[in-house]
Structure 1
């Protein structure tokens, strides 16, 4: 073949190759253009990054989190990340991040050539955007299919999010080893700092870890981590972020890693368990959202109050004892549960005795009875005999013979005020039967007792089991002037976007008469007043001298339970003491634990609060009364006590037990009440 012919053939081949190359380029351009158009049509990809749900107390301090596969994931704004960390990351991972549109063609071309030479896919040219796409949607498998999908998601991210938004997402999702996902979790784990407090030395150290979290972690191999830090610092110098001198200084600066990663003590674990229960079963938030949704759950817990409760439990109870306790403290105005103890040791037993257990409340149930009595003809001066009595009920078919604690009786009449303060059982059962056993049940239900109750004589003595939380709620209605509130543990929930998805709305319902409720609350202060001592001392006598605030309360005891429940207008707390298996309590000191814990806690929690927050409403009057007779006191009465009555029911007669002049003139008291004397004299003779 002559040279001319060979030249023509070569020319044809060259022209064919050029045409094929041009066609290939056109097809590639069309493919890329189509991909961009399709990416634009698809719009922004849904960015759902797993994040740890965190719990906060009432003051906004973090108290706990939802555990998820031992991972810590937190999201922080780009402005809340230290500049050196952002600069170090861009310098070492993607220098041209702010210049390209998701793909660095220079690096990509070099990586393709390297892959073809080695016949593998080992070389990478991933930009920050590509890595972010992989973190969000894909795996780390080195396949062409995955790389094509990565490219598509990269386009969608670049077309719909700003560079700063992409960098923020990347820094919040990249893995830094040791279970830390995102820079905030890494900063906390390695240096116990927030991400915006990182120094240049710390930032350059952390920025080098994602290249190989197990290989470059300073915990695994500090020398390798320092070598990687030098690479990061040099990249920052070449990118113009810092000078050579700053890089050298940062490299020489000592790195102070967290030496010991102690599992932090869980704040109020029983309370947090209750919060989780409410989230799942009351607010119906699914498990996945709780585990990875990055919710911020703001609770009602007052951490300082919780610490005081835990302190006094430890101080009062013998550490060698197996006895258990439970406490609920709540704000009676709002229903916010501010402190909770479900047991003495959460690690040994996570069973929450404050909300799950139900025990007989004993005489602490009596205030509900005496409210019903005050609404059905009784006054604080109503007198009934305290003596051993056998009661007949159910048309005389059944008998009931209760007894007073220790076998002590007045063997004569005592007033309602004394009966409550002394916790006289005979008086309580007589009252219960005289007004009708349905009245106590109805009152208890009104104030929020939801446990089953029976119309039986012994209900007056608290024989039906209820929870500590129920008793706290019931007493809150008394403290709140007869308005029932719904206990709550969560004030609001904020999602990843900062949107409030739930906020508590206070729910209050007036269920009791306000003046009557006030009269009852003042009767309940009598458990601490020695002026009401009679055949025995008032039940709060052992702790009365510890009180500096005016408080209303009631004790309660059974063979296996000891209670103290009480309040001021701003705080209610209920304390229970007993054994899990119902073992009987010894006479001393176990039966006194509840009083001591309650008293010390209330005083500590109310430090700085007004000494007397009780304010009489309209419809009540206060007069000086002789506690023994329930009549108006004279100057000769040694224990005259201010006692409140519903207006028109206050006593009109003066005490004739003690000789002396009247302390008040009769015309100072308006007689608006009906004469009840005949009714109650007849009532005294109803029982054997």
Structure 2
């Protein structure tokens, strides 16, 4: 009994101690808040200075865009702003705005709980006052220190500035996207109307933009913008800002948007600038408030000369009276720096960036990855396979895969890997893929820098998995630079308005290919511009070979709906895509050469004045003359030949002249090679389809 009593006393003492600690902490907290409130009151109203202009620079320090803020805004008094605008922002951003003193503690509690669970600061609960304070407060470091000082700024606003003035400042300083800062600019740009004339539907649309000006842009993502608009209209109705008839009328309002013609859309490289802003937030985790408030100096990798020439040739080659679209990217293969980017033929008509956001099958442009993998697996430039109509059977089913060559042109004979690259022979490519492990091509392409999902199937040799222009262009860099994968880079550094560096980047690269095999693959890609290779088919670059004024390598490709050209010199990789947004089939007779012409003209013009460099031959590689007809060592007695590279001691040992006088023996040898090839192919196909993940 005494033991139980002692336990009860101990239990009561613990509870009394806990109670006293709680009371003590509460008193300390209250005193702390009183001190903070006192400081905020004593400091008086904060300086109502607006952010400075954000300036974007090219790689040579030239200003390519200045997003005016501060004095450049068109300030509109609250009485001259439609009441629907106020109602929409109150509904979606801060429904307790007129009741709180700067902070919504319920939302803050929920956000804190979420952040603790995720161990991050991903969730916010900013009131309109806090957001306005953020626009005025020019230090945008993403730290707790900045957030605390920003909170103090918000308290000073609440203590000393009327609510209507806070609201007025807020709607005049926020970013509505596409260079529109403040409600008046947004109303004029999106709807060609004054802020005072905005109706409920228009106001709800605009109120949805500041949370993600790029993500919810009605020009780029109209479905997202209108879904958010309807959500805000629902909230306005629920909160009594719209009665039922007004709500129904707003829902039925079919919004039309003015063509975006503001100054920032006419500056250098608008598609590139959009991508820069997105990457600063998504890739480098820069606080979006930094971009919204302005005052930054953003130093980019863009080359104004290359950008201008690329834009000029895209515009010149794409027909104006046709919805045919195009995209082009140029990358420095030694650093990954993006030097030019065009995402369409007219940004003001279509800001959708096809260089980054469109994923399309690359066709034969994917073959260099295939042939690099083949070289790793024992192929050489002279490895013979037969080019003829071929049905690739599935040992475990009735389906078969029957690729074809362009215009149904086949050698109906053995050709070398070098010829297959020059003519873009599809049969040779699929056979090569079949002779390797299913994952071999996937691993090679990913090592080069392809990030999009790839399917390890036979048809991947012909580029059936979708990629975007930027990733495919940068993935050619290892061929140009001796085997190093480079990550693309758009931004060199970002400084705040005081010159403090917020972000600084360095080129990211790693050795992924053997330099010797990377060079040999490059050497093979040079053959597409060599007319002396013409045989049963013309080399694929014959139409533009005369325009090249410097050593270059590349590969063209096509699908029924896409036309591609990716190629490079030692100092620049350029990729071009042409097609319709809705996958309409191309007329390859009319459109088939457009991508090649854009590529060669943009490349040559962009490098005008640069030294004409050739690719450096690494040790362990030798150049050998190969007979065009037999694929053996060339001799003047045989006929046309071409020069191609091999690893030392891997070139053919037999000369073409040894078979000149014995046609019957040569025919027998060809038949024996064909039978061996068929036997090996069937063995490999059984291994392919024995893998559960492989598919046609």
Which residues in structure 2 correspond to 1:224-623 (within 5 Å)? 265-393=266-394, 395=396, 398-623=399-624
CA contact (8 A) 1:68 1:291 kept: no
Cα distance in structure 2, aligned partners of 1:361 and 1:407 = 20
> Larger deviation: 563-572 or 385-394?
385-394
Q: Compute the TM-score of the two structures, normalised by the length of structure 2.
A: 0.61
Cα distance in structure 1, aligned partners of 2:270 and 2:625 = 48
Match of residue 146 from structure 2: none
CA contact (8 A) 1:332 1:477 kept: yes
CA contact (8 A) 2:483 2:515 kept: yes
Cα distance in structure 2, aligned partners of 1:575 and 1:149 = 57
Offset, 1:402: 0.7
Assess, with a 3 A threshold, how the Cα gap between structure 1 residues 643 and 395 changes in structure 2: closer, same or farther.
same
Cα distance in structure 1, aligned partners of 2:589 and 2:612 = 31
Assess, with a 3 A threshold, how the Cα gap between structure 1 residues 536 and 443 changes in structure 2: closer, same or farther.
same
Match of residue 632 from structure 1: 633
CA contact (8 A) 2:54 2:297 kept: yes
Cα distance in structure 2, aligned partners of 1:540 and 1:534 = 14
Cα distance in structure 1, aligned partners of 2:71 and 2:445 = 45
Cα distance in structure 2, aligned partners of 1:572 and 1:393 = 38
SS at match of 2:266: coil
Cα distance in structure 1, aligned partners of 2:673 and 2:442 = 24
CA contact (8 A) 1:326 1:341 kept: yes
Cα distance in structure 1, aligned partners of 2:354 and 2:343 = 5
Cα distance in structure 2, aligned partners of 1:263 and 1:582 = 30
Assess, with a 3 A threshold, how the Cα gap between structure 1 residues 473 and 569 changes in structure 2: closer, same or farther.
same
1:92-145 deviation per Cα after TM superposition (whole angstroms, max 9, x unaligned) = xxxxxxxxxxxxxxxxxxxxxxxxxxxxxxxxxxxxxxxxxxx999xxxxxxx9
Offset, 1:476: 1.1
Cα distance in structure 2, aligned partners of 1:682 and 1:573 = 40
CA contact (8 A) 1:432 1:457 kept: yes
Identify the match of residue 682 of structure 1 among 676, 680, 688. 676
How many pairs does the alignment contain? 459
Assess, with a 3 A threshold, how the Cα gap between structure 1 residues 349 and 293 changes in structure 2: closer, same or farther.
closer
Assess, with a 3 A threshold, how the Cα gap between structure 1 residues 658 and 639 changes in structure 2: closer, same or farther.
farther
CA contact (8 A) 1:389 1:687 kept: no
1:322-344 deviation per Cα after TM superposition (whole angstroms, max 9, x unaligned) = 10000110000000000001001
Offset, 1:656: 2.2
Match of residue 33 from structure 1: none
Cα distance in structure 2, aligned partners of 1:687 and 1:387 = 14
Q: List runs of 5+ in structure 2 lacking aligned partners.
A: 1-38, 75-135, 139-155, 162-178, 182-261, 662-670, 683-696
CA contact (8 A) 1:636 1:658 kept: no
Assess, with a 3 A threshold, how the Cα gap between structure 1 residues 376 and 48 changes in structure 2: closer, same or farther.
farther
Cα distance in structure 2, aligned partners of 1:456 and 1:263 = 45
Cα distance in structure 1, aligned partners of 2:509 and 2:387 = 39
Offset, 1:638: 3.9
Q: List runs of 5+ in structure 1 lacking aligned partners.
A: 1-37, 74-134, 138-144, 151-178, 182-260, 661-676
Offset, 1:502: 1.5
Which residues in structure 2 correspond to 1:204-243 (within 5 Å)? none
Assess, with a 3 A threshold, how the Cα gap between structure 1 residues 424 and 372 changes in structure 2: closer, same or farther.
same
CA contact (8 A) 1:343 1:353 kept: yes
Cα distance in structure 2, aligned partners of 1:507 and 1:680 = 46
CA contact (8 A) 2:329 2:470 kept: yes
Offset, 1:628: 2.7
Match of residue 224 from structure 1: none
SS at match of 2:306: helix
Task: Point out the structure with max Rg over C-alpha.
Answer: 1
Cα distance in structure 2, aligned partners of 1:574 and 1:306 = 13
Assess, with a 3 A threshold, how the Cα gap between structure 1 residues 651 and 536 changes in structure 2: closer, same or farther.
same
CA contact (8 A) 1:494 1:502 kept: yes
1:21-42 deviation per Cα after TM superposition (whole angstroms, max 9, x unaligned) = xxxxxxxxxxxxxxxxx99x98
Cα distance in structure 2, aligned partners of 1:614 and 1:70 = 52
Assess, with a 3 A threshold, how the Cα gap between structure 1 residues 568 and 262 changes in structure 2: closer, same or farther.
closer
Assess, with a 3 A threshold, how the Cα gap between structure 1 residues 262 and 484 changes in structure 2: closer, same or farther.
closer
CA contact (8 A) 1:47 1:136 kept: no
CA contact (8 A) 1:382 1:680 kept: no
CA contact (8 A) 1:531 1:627 kept: no
Match of residue 169 from structure 1: none
Offset, 1:530: 1.4
Cα distance in structure 2, aligned partners of 1:394 and 1:567 = 41
> Larger deviation: 312-321 or 482-491?
312-321
Offset, 1:48: 7.2
Assess, with a 3 A threshold, how the Cα gap between structure 1 residues 399 and 290 changes in structure 2: closer, same or farther.
same
Cα distance in structure 2, aligned partners of 1:398 and 1:136 = 66
Offset, 1:365: 0.4
Offset, 1:293: 4.0
1:132-163 deviation per Cα after TM superposition (whole angstroms, max 9, x unaligned) = xxx999xxxxxxx99x989xxxxxxxxxxxxx
1:454-481 deviation per Cα after TM superposition (whole angstroms, max 9, x unaligned) = 1111111001111001111111121121
Cα distance in structure 2, aligned partners of 1:594 and 1:289 = 38
Assess, with a 3 A threshold, how the Cα gap between structure 1 residues 67 and 365 changes in structure 2: closer, same or farther.
farther
Offset, 1:288: 2.4
Offset, 1:368: 0.3
RMSD: 3.3
Offset, 1:683: 2.4
Cα distance in structure 2, aligned partners of 1:362 and 1:334 = 27
Cα distance in structure 2, aligned partners of 1:651 and 1:344 = 48
Assess, with a 3 A threshold, how the Cα gap between structure 1 residues 687 and 288 changes in structure 2: closer, same or farther.
closer
1:14-68 deviation per Cα after TM superposition (whole angstroms, max 9, x unaligned) = xxxxxxxxxxxxxxxxxxxxxxxx99x989x999751121111111111113465
CA contact (8 A) 1:337 1:488 kept: yes
SS at match of 2:588: coil
1:508-559 deviation per Cα after TM superposition (whole angstroms, max 9, x unaligned) = 1001111001000000001111122121101101111111111100010010
CA contact (8 A) 1:528 1:540 kept: yes
Assess, with a 3 A threshold, how the Cα gap between structure 1 residues 364 and 279 changes in structure 2: closer, same or farther.
same
Offset, 1:433: 0.4
CA contact (8 A) 2:434 2:681 kept: no
1:159-214 deviation per Cα after TM superposition (whole angstroms, max 9, x unaligned) = xxxxxxxxxxxxxxxxxxxx9x9xxxxxxxxxxxxxxxxxxxxxxxxxxxxxxxxx
SS at match of 1:442: helix
Offset, 1:658: 8.7
